[in-house]
Amino acid sequence: MNSEMKGADTVEEKDATNVNIDMRSIERSPYRYSTQKCMGCGYMLRPSSCGVCLTCHFSYLKKQDK
**Domains identified in the chain, total number:** 2
d(CA 29, CA 42): 23
pLDDT score recorded for residue 20: 47
Quick check: 22 and 32 in contact, CB under 8 A?
no
Q: Alpha-carbon distance 50 to 40, whole Å?
A: 11
Digit-by-digit pLDDT tens for the chain (66 residues) are: 545 555 555 444 555 554 545 555 545 555 555 566 777 787 766 556 677 788 888 888 888 876
My answer on whether 48 and 63 are in the same domain is: yes
Could you list the residue range(s) of the whole structural domain that residue 64 is in?
34-66
Cα angle 33, 22, 11 (rounded to 5 degrees) comes to 140
- Considering the domain architecture, whether residues 16 and 4 belong to the same structural domain is answered as yes
pLDDT for 22:
54
28 and 50 within one domain = no
